[in-house]
Structure 1
């Protein structure tokens, strides 16, 4: 199988990233209800009854070679935390985007996102030999922008009127990236962030 879409388990101190499977649907339905995340208008997060379709959509993109989706699990409790993915995979140019990410509300503002990104970036740069890893988010998703900047990613630019969100509302998309030559410093920064006191969901 193409290494870019080969299912892999990524283990951290707080989280485990597992290959996405349909058997995880019920756990993810429970997770998305923590904070009713689908009500955020500026991003697309599935409602509980849409979870099966969303898992199937991601797995279909994996079959097409465009996505490597993950199920995010709390390492200590075994509780479902959310989903994340390598997406818009360009194996020829050795580029990926980390996106389609959501975490249950009680896992936000904890070490979860930092460790997930560290695991994904390590796989991208150290295993897949990526040249660049990209992040995209809505101009109105200020929490996401702050989280991406906190990782050490740099803003490449803004795609104006990039997507229709709903009711013909147009979304501007902020595009960030981390380059291969920046990875050693970013890796050290993420290691440091994970030593700083922050609560972790139980």
Structure 2
């Protein structure tokens, strides 16, 4: 996200190892997304100043992203390090599961899907954006999700929660397993499910 950060930024407790272990992968994903959106790896051509500064001070990451970019007959193609992307997405989803439902998910998810929104079919995009999970499971008493239910009833989980407009939004559900959907930079759609 960009500064200034939202006043109500969510945080879930984590050990030092978990909190720091993903920093390099998070930096990679943030820079990758900005370069993909810009269609270029040149720091001066990127819209987000924060990402431009990271790539200017980290020439090895810049070189890594430059090597990942290829020009195809259909346009630019990126060789993405999916393991790094997946680690970040699962970390974020675990945070939302713990924060929203007070349901820490320390085991691996049963389903992980990461796909750019522009590459989704119309049907995939509609299914991703809507909440086809009926509200059937009550969240744990005292959790943020329960507070939202008490304030807004079952409509609490119909809308996406925008953490920072244009940069990060998410929605959670417990109807068909614990599900967390995340959209990064209005480009990358992510779905993580624990049965």
TM-score over 0.5 for the alignment?
Answer: no
- Greater helix percent: which structure? 2
Q: Normalising by structure 2, report the TM-score.
A: 0.30
Q: Normalising by structure 1, report the TM-score.
A: 0.29
